[in-house]
Structure formats: structure tokens, C-alpha cells
């Protein structure tokens, strides 16, 4: 076994392959609701911006162009409710998963340090801790955490996989706890623009952070809001001293967002119409799948935001995965996201309208 393999859990999606084969054998084809990858077109104004910047022979800067930093700070102010955001308080990154997986290492964490993340969570938080040689610490509530050796506290609201949204009081409590114990709080907010039954709030909102970004970093992505998963466009906003250290390290590592992607990001953040249009698509798919799942005997929990329905029939998740695969429907088992999800499945509504309709019909039949 290699040194890297010994530090990491088994890649979870490999375990789903036999069920994918079963679902794919359905006469009408697979309805793949397992991965939250966009399937709708990239908006034309974004593609035009990308193409317009295609003649970019020189190296881009790690920090991004001034126009990109203007777009990032402007969006943080307009959408997150922050005020007076400076260029030093934003930093473009090459996709949010890269950032999540490498952040503990980039922060210089290692053996003896601890990284905390929600007990039900995107598995890359744990992977990032293990890659750095730090101790991964799942938690239910920050008040229960032992702060000894804790260097990084992850929040995730709206949550992947559950779609749960932390309200302002919960966010304020987490910020206060982290600041009281000198722990860096990083909030993964990649689904913030996809609230359905709740209005997600950023940790950088003045009513949460008190108007100061001290000790706080928020992670945002254009993958979901703008169908740009293929562009790998994401960014950080928050504490200038933390982002300054990351900028220095990323300069040394050549971690640059490509210049055409920077141009596309500017266009995407400057337009809210395509986001509203995409939300309408997802809302329709969500409504149809939720009704079909509930009609099939599922109970939907949380799911007030994000691109997923957190569903259960009060049985082991792999039994549910197997039963749905026989219908040609592939979903993600809840234990991919922690042992606490062992009786749930995560159902993405990122498939096309035609595939969502097919899945709903199979559940109804």
C-alpha cells in the first residue's frame, strides 16, 4: 500500500459501481441522481467572456486581475451583505474541492493539530485533514468540541448532503466559539444561492460576524449557481491576514486560475438573471422528485436548501440504493457522508428534465 493510500479512506464512489451497472441495465436507461454535477448549458454571456479571453498567452496572476477582484468584492457586498470589502479580503481558487482538500496543508497543519467538520459532511473535509497528517474530528455542535489542538473548524451551510441551513443565531454562536478559542473558522457556502425553504446566510454577514472578518473565511463556488463545474471557478472571502498567507503559498505553488476562466467569472458574478433562471429549473425538478419519493414511502429530512433531497425509508442505506437501482435510479448512500447517514440516501436533482420525469414515473409505477 502506498503512503498516500494508507492515509486516506477508500474512495467512496468506487463502491457504487455495481449498483450503477444495475441501474444502467434498465430498458429505459439509468436515471443518475447520485452526483450533483450540472447538466444544463453554460450561459451564453459566460461562454462569450471565456472565448473573448482565449488569446491569453502569458501567465495569469494567482491573485487575479483587478477586474476579477472588483467582481469578487462587489458580489460579496451585494450578495452576502458585507460592506467595505477590500481586494485583500478575496482570493480566487482553482475549484472549491481543491481548496477543501488542500487547505489544512496550505495552512501548515500537521501531526498534533486537529481539524473539525460536521459529523454528516462532504468527505473531502476529512480527506484534507488526513492529507496534512492532522487529526480529523467530526462534531455535532461546536459547543461540544474540545478546543485543545484544534486549528481549523469547518462549517457547511447549506449542508451537503442534508441541505440543512444554519440560522443567524447558530452561525453567531459558532463564530463566537471559534474566536473565543482562537480557532480559524472556514464556512463552506457553495450552495448559498440555492435556498428553497430557508434563506441561507453567510458567516460574513454583519449580523453574524459583527462587521469584522477576523478569524473567518467563506468558500464560494460558481459550479452550482452558474453551471461552471467544468471551469473550476471558486473563491475565498474573509480575513485578509489568512488570505495573504494563502496567496503567498499559492504564488510559490503556481496555483493560478486560468485567465479565460477569470474573465468568465467576472461575467458570471455580474449577472443575476441566469442564476434565477437556473434556480427555476432546479425548483421544478426538486418539486417533482420530492413528491415522487414521498409517494414511494420516503421521508424527506432537512433539504431546505442545496441540490439534494436527504431521504430515508428507515432501512440501511445500501438496501435503499439496491432497491432504487433495480428501478434504474442511482442515488448516493448516506454513509458516504459519515456513519450518521447510514439509514439515508442523498438524491440529487441535477439530472435533465427528461431524466427527472423518467425517475418520477418509475417511483410512481
Supply the pTM of this predicted model: 0.95
In this predicted model, what pLDDT tens digit does every residue of 197-222 receive, in sequence order?
A: 999 999 999 999 999 999 999 999 99
Cα–Cα separations (whole angstroms), residue 333 to 12, 84, 201, 253, 360: 10, 43, 28, 36, 19
Question: How much is the pLDDT for 59?
Answer: 97
Domain region containing 294: 3-41+274-364
Q: Is the same domain home to 67 and 93? A: yes
Question: How much is the pLDDT for 207?
Answer: 98
Q: Is the same domain home to 175 and 135? A: yes
Question: Which of residues 269, 287, 309 is at a domain's end?
Answer: 269
Residues in contact with 101: Cβ distance below 8 Å, sequence separation at least 6, in sequence order: 124, 127, 128, 131
Residues of the chain under the 50 pLDDT cut: 1
* Paired residues of 187 in beta bridges: 155, 218
CATH of the domain at 82: 3.40.640.10
Question: How much is the pLDDT for 5?
Answer: 57
Question: How much is the pLDDT for 142?
Answer: 82
Q: Is the same domain home to 60 and 118? A: yes
Question: Which of residues 269, 299, 334 is at a domain's end?
Answer: 269
Question: How much is the pLDDT for 2?
Answer: 56
Question: 200, 192 in Cβ contact below 8 A?
Answer: yes
Residues in contact with 95: Cβ distance below 8 Å, sequence separation at least 6, in sequence order: 221, 223, 232, 233, 234
Q: Is the same domain home to 97 and 142? A: yes
Question: How much is the pLDDT for 4?
Answer: 58
Q: Is the same domain home to 108 and 239? A: yes
Residues in contact with 231: Cβ distance below 8 Å, sequence separation at least 6, in sequence order: 42, 50, 222, 223, 261, 264, 265
In this predicted model, what pLDDT tens digit does every residue of 254-287 receive, in sequence order?
A: 999 999 999 999 999 999 999 999 999 999 999 9
CATH of the domain at 20: 3.90.1150.10
Question: How much is the pLDDT for 6?
Answer: 62
59, burial (CB in 10 Å: exposed 0-12, middle 13-18, buried 19+): exposed
Question: 231, 222 in Cβ contact below 8 A?
Answer: yes
Q: Is the same domain home to 99 and 177? A: yes
Total of domains in the chain: 2
Amino acid at each position: 500500500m502506498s503512503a498516500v493510500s494508507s492515509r486516506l479512506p477508500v474512495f467512496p464512489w468506487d463502491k457504487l459501481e455495481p449498483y450503477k451497472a444495475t441501474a444502467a441495465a434498465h430498458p429505459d436507461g439509468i436515471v443518475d441522481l447520485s452526483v450533483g454535477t450540472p447538466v444544463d448549458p453554460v450561459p451564453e454571456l459566460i461562454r462569450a467572456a471565456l472565448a473573448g479571453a482565449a488569446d491569453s498567452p502569458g501567465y495569469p496572476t494567482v491573485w487575479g486581475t483587478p477586474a476579477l477582484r472588483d467582481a469578487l468584492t462587489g458580489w460579496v457586498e451585494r450578495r452576502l451583505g458585507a460592506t467595505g470589502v477590500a481586494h485583500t479580503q478575496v482570493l480566487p481558487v482553482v475549484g472549491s474541492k481543491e481548496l477543501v482538500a488542500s487547505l489544512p496543508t496550505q495552512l501548515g497543519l500537521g501531526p498534533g493539530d486537529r481539524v473539525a467538520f460536521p459529523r454528516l459532511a462532504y468527505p473531502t473535509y476529512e480527506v484534507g485533514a488526513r492529507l496534512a497528517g492532522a487529526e480529523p474530528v467530526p462534531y455535532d455542535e461546536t459547543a461540544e468540541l474540545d478546543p485543545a489542538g484544534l486549528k481549523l473548524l469547518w462549517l457547511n451551510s447549506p449542508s451537503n448532503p442534508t441541505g440543512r441551513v444554519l440560522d443567524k443565531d447558530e452561525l453567531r454562536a459558532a463564530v463566537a466559539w471559534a474566536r473565543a478559542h482562537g480557532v480559524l473558522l472556514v464556512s463552506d457556502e457553495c450552495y448559498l444561492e440555492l435556498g428553497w425553504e430557508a434563506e441561507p446566510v453567510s458567516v460574513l454577514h454583519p449580523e453574524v460576524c459583527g462587521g469584522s472578518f477576523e478569524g473567518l473565511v467563506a468558500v464560494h463556488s460558481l459550479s452550482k449557481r452558474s453551471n461552471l463545474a467544468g471551469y473550476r471557478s471558486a473563491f475565498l472571502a474573509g480575513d485578509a491576514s489568512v488570505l495573504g498567507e494563502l496567496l503567498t503559498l499559492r504564488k510559490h505553488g503556481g496555483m493560478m486560475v486560468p485567465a479565460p476562466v477569470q474573465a468568465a467569472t467576472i461575467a458570471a458574478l455580474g449577472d443575476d438573471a441566469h442564476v434565477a433562471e437556473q434556480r427555476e429549473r432546479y425548483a421544478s425538478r426538486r418539486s417533482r422528485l420530492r413528491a415522487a419519493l414521498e409517494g414511494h414511502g420516503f421521508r424527506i429530512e432537512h433539504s431546505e436548501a442545496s441540490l439534494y433531497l436527504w431521504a430515508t425509508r428507515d432501512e440501511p442505506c445500501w438496501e435503499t440504493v439496491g432497491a432504487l437501482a433495480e428501478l434504474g435510479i442511482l442515488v448516493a448512500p448516506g454513509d458516504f457522508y459519515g456513519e450518521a447517514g447510514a439509514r439515508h440516501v442523498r438524491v440529487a436533482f441535477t439530472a435533465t428534465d427528461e431524466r427527472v420525469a423518467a425517475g418520477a414515473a418509475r417511483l410512481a409505477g
